[in-house]
Structure 1
Amino acid sequence: MALVAVIGAGVVGVASAYLLARAGHKVTLIDAAREPGLGASAGNAAQLSWAYGDAMASPALLKHLPAIVAKRDPAFRIRWQLDPDFLIWGLRFLANSSASRWWSNTSAILQLANESRQELEALLAEADIAFDYRVAGKLHLYPNRTNFSAARPIVERKTALGFDQRLLTRAAAETVEPALKTYQGEIAGAIFTPGDALGDAAAFCRQLTAHIVDRYGVSTLFGQRVVAFEQRQGRLRALRFSDRGPLHTEVAIVTAGPMSRTFAADLPEVRSIRAVRGYSLTIPFSRGAPRVSLTDTKRKLAFAAIGNRMRVAGIADIERPDAGFGADRFETLRTAACEVFPDLFGLQESESCWSGERPMTPSSRPIIAPSRRIHGVYINAGHGMLGWTLALGSARRMVGMVG
């Protein structure tokens, strides 16, 4: 048994704390926020995309890059930065955009997603936690025959890996999800993945934290920011905080998402993480809203019915760190949602808007590794848009490293 501190209480951090505690370690869960799940987990797309671990860097995105640079695609924006780390990240992103690299990264992410799905099944068998979890299935909507045809070989590859995916006409997709009969977007075809699920990631963080405190005796330190590692001869001894005394520990797991970069002086590995800002809009669920999760591949919108709420998420802005909420970008998301579901999103008086940073590596594969500089420090960060999907799988691998 080791004394372990987990730095960051989003889905990745809480999942890590759970599996470490279950393995017999004495765990302290730490976050600068007042409670778990207030970062990227607070308003994400809610989709548990077991079959959609597609890496962001791809031949398709590379081909589309001139339109993004020219600001002709409202779903993406790149704000150029005179920062060596940003330039290196960009070059590595381009290097990962070849067809072979894309599939290598995607298949690795899919394997991690499958491990995460297995761990979630084990967790739900152990604990009665409520986070609006549901195997909803997912429909990926394609605007034209060219895009739909291009998706066919990818479906064949994923089917060969054991995933259940089905190519549907619009009429067949409307049978699966009747709300598509009123969908104003173009649909030349759809891919249906019946096994994909959804859930409220923020509620998962709160509920699982309460469970591990009660069952495994996990300690928590909320409202406390870790500022440095105390070490002796290259071995971790303690964590230093901004406004309290040090916490002595043998092992530290950095699961702080984009904030992991604040430790770059000691952990150069985290320099390969960039913040990609996304937005979401959540409204009360109403009659006629879809129950199956939807992804509009043209507008890059993800729709999910979470309990008695309906959420749409989208936008991928590679910004400077801590750029903050952009009202114009949120309006871009709202306009796109209203365009396809005007009766749902057009006249809402009660809504919740959110923006957050997702920690992205050039390959879209998270960093799950021990520090090269400080023995006893591990990194579990860089999950991009898939933190909710990959959290428990990456936590399982981290536990295997800690021992």
Structure 2
Amino acid sequence: MGRVAVIGAGVIGVSSAYLLARAGHDVTLIDAAGEPGTGASAGNAAQLSWAYGDAMASPALLKHLPAIAMGRDPAIRIHWQLDRDFLRWGLKFIANTPFRRWWNNTQDILRLAEQSRYELAILLKETDVEFDYRVAGKLHLYADRQSFAAAHSSVVRKNALGFEQRLLTRMEAENIEPALAAYQGEIAGAVYTPDDALGDAAEFCRQLTAWMIGRGQVSTFFGRRVSSFVQTGGVLTGLRFEDRDELHVDAAVVAAGPQIRSLVSDLPEARDIRSVRGYSLTIPRSGLAPSVSLTDVKRKLAFAAIGDRFRVAGLADIERPGAGFDVGRFDTLKLAASAVLPDLFDRSDELTRWSGERPMTPTSKPMIAASRRIKGLYINAGHGMLGWTLALGSARRVVDLLR
């Protein structure tokens, strides 16, 4: 066992640190922020989508791509860039839209999600961390008969893989979630996944980090940014920082989310990771809020009741890394959420806004691999919108790589 640095303290990095420490490694958790869970983990959709790991590059999205390219879909926006990496990423994305590639990618993601669910069950038994976790179930709401009919084949395939999903009428969906009686959006049918769960990803990061520190399992460097890697003969020996002395290590796992691209000179693999910016709005939870997690397929909105809060997350802006958020997109998200749940989002005076970059590969599968350039350096990044769902499964695979 050796000295391992984990760069990045979001759900991917904290999960990696936890399983690496449990495997006997001497772990140092590093993040440029002052505390864990401040990036994409801070305001994500909160849904643990064990049965919904569908790759973004799909036949359905390919058909819709011309409308997206012309700015006709408010939920997805592409900022076109005269950038070689952007163009290469886009071409690889399109190459993964045929059915066979989409389904192969989706199956790989689902297997990783199942591994995450297994690891989470162990974590919940072994630790006392609290992060508003519960098995809430999830309803995917389809606005028209055509899209609902198309969902049937997906349900059949996932049932064959062992996932429990059921096709429901609107009335059956309302019996499961009575709050849907007030839902203003069209519902031609729904897909119900009873075993899907949710939890506060940021609180998970904070609580699990504190739990590990309290037991002497990890040391931490917060407020420290890694600038480059120290190597001898192509073998990693340490990390360089912008504002402190080098840290000597035997291995390092880069789980730095979108910041991984700042290390692209040492990690050329990171060129296959692009930022997809998302947005969320969180309000106090009232008695009118649905308890079951919801996904509005047409509007691409995800709703979740997290403890005493209720959150809507959505939008996918493929943009230049580090471009920052567009304040007008919060209005777009609120308008869409208010159109279907006006009693919640129009009447709440307390509103917490969040936007963050979610690093994604063209296949939607995370990059979990050893560096091709530096021995002892590993990548665990590119999870896109599924970082919370895939975190612990990805961490397990990193542990296996380091054996």
List per-residue Cα deviations over 1:112-137 (Å, max 9, x = no partner): 00000000000000001110000000
Q: 2:217 aligned with 1:217, yes or no?
A: yes
Encode CA deviations 1:343-367: one digit per residue, 9 max, x unaligned.
Answer: 0000211110000000010000000
Aligned equivalent of 1:235: 235
Deviation per CA, 1:225-263: give whole Å up to 9, x if none: 000001010001110000111000010000001111111
Deviation at 1:216, TM superposition (A): 4.2
**Structure 1 equivalent of residue 372 of structure 2:** 372
Deviations 1:295-351 (A, max 9, x none): 000000000000000000000000111121211111100000000000000021111
Corresponding residue for 1:205?
Answer: 205
Amino acid at match of 2:368: I
Counterpart of 1:276?
Answer: 276
**Could you tell me which residue of structure 2 aligns to residue 400 of structure 1?**
400
Q: Counterpart of 2:44 in structure 1: which amino acid?
A: N
Which deviates more from structure 2 when the two are superposed, residues 40-49 or residues 206-215?
A: 206-215
Which residue is equivalent to 2:46? Answer: 46
Corresponding residue for residue 106 of structure 1: 106
Deviation at 1:212, TM superposition (A): 1.2
Give the aligned partner of residue 64 of structure 1.
Answer: 64
Q: Which residue of 1 aligns with 2:385?
A: 385
Residue correspondence of structure 1 range 127-276 to structure 2 within 5 A? 127-276=127-276
Q: Is 2:273 the counterpart of 1:297?
A: no
| One-letter code aligned to 1:238 | G
What is aligned with 2:344?
344
Does structure 2 retain, via aligned residues, the 8 Å contact 1:137–1:293?
Answer: yes
Per-residue displacement from partner, 1:27-74 (whole Å, max 9, x unpaired)? 000000000000000000000000000000000000000110111110
- Note the alpha carbon deviations across 1:134-159, whole angstroms, 9 max, x for none: 00000000001100000101100000
- C-alpha separation in 1, matches of 2:294 and 2:216: 37
Tell me which stretches of 4 or more aligned residues in structure 1 moved more than 2 Å: none
Distance 1:218 1:264 in 2: 27
TM-score (normalizing by structure 2): 0.99
Shift of 1:214: 1.7
Query: Does the Cα contact within 8 Å between 1:22 and 1:216 map onto a contact in 2?
Result: no
Cross-structure match for 1:3? 3
How far apart, CA to CA, are the structure 1 residues paired with 2:351 and 2:129?
A: 26
Contact 1:21 1:216 in 2 (8 A): no
- Specify the alignment match of 1:91 in structure 2: 91
Instruction: Specify the code of the residue in structure 2 equivalent to 1:49.
Output: S
Amino acid at match of 1:373: R
Letter in 2 for 1:27: V
Q: Secondary structure of the equivalent of 1:295?
A: strand
Find the residue that maps to 1:80 and give its secondary structure: coil
Residue 33 in structure 1 maps to residue 42 in structure 2: no
Q: What aligned pairs does 1:69-88 form with structure 2 within 5 A after superposition?
A: 69-88=69-88
Choose 205-214 or 390-399, whichever is displaced more: 205-214
1:88: Cα distance to partner? 0.1
Distance 2:164 2:380 in 1: 29
How far 1:21 moved relative to its partner? 0.1
* Letter of the structure 2 residue corresponding to residue 20 of structure 1: L
d(CA) in 1 for partners of 2:39 and 2:185? 31
Write the letter of the residue equivalent to 1:337. A
Q: Distance in 1 between matches of 2:263 and 2:331?
A: 34
SS in 2 for 1:30: strand
TM-score normalized with structure 1 length: 0.99
**Alpha carbons 1:113, 1:389 under 8 Å: kept:** yes
Deviation at 1:215, TM superposition (A): 2.2
Q: Which amino acid aligns with 1:29?
A: L
CA distance in 2, matches of 1:11, 1:242: 24
What whole-Å deviation, never above 9, does each CA across 1:136-194 have from its counterpart, x for those lacking one?
A: 00000000110000010110000000000000000000000000000000000000000
Which residue type is aligned with residue 268 of structure 1? P
Distance 2:295 2:182 in 1: 15
Amino acid at match of 1:105: N
Supply the distance in 1 between the matched residues of 2:363 and 2:64 (Cα, whole angstroms). 17
SS in 1 for 2:276: strand
Contact 1:48 1:197 in 2 (8 A): yes
Distance 1:261 1:117 in 2: 29
Alpha-carbon separation, structure 2, partners of 1:121 and 1:206: 19
Percent identity of equivalent pairs: 69
Q: Distance in 2 between matches of 1:189 and 1:323?
A: 38
User: SS in structure 2 opposite 1:221?
Assistant: strand
3-state secondary structure, aligned to 1:353: strand
The 8 Å contact of residues 278 and 356 in structure 1, kept in 2 or not, is answered as yes
Whether the 8 Å contact between 1:303 and 1:312 is mirrored in structure 2 is yes
**Partner Cα separation in structure 2 for residue 77 and residue 341 of structure 1:** 23
Q: 1:217, 1:99 → 2: CA distance? A: 44
Q: Which moved more, 1:201-210 or 1:325-334?
A: 325-334
CA positional deviation for 1:102: 0.2
CA RMSD of aligned residues (A): 0.5
Distance in 2 separating the partners of 1:172 and 1:198: 22
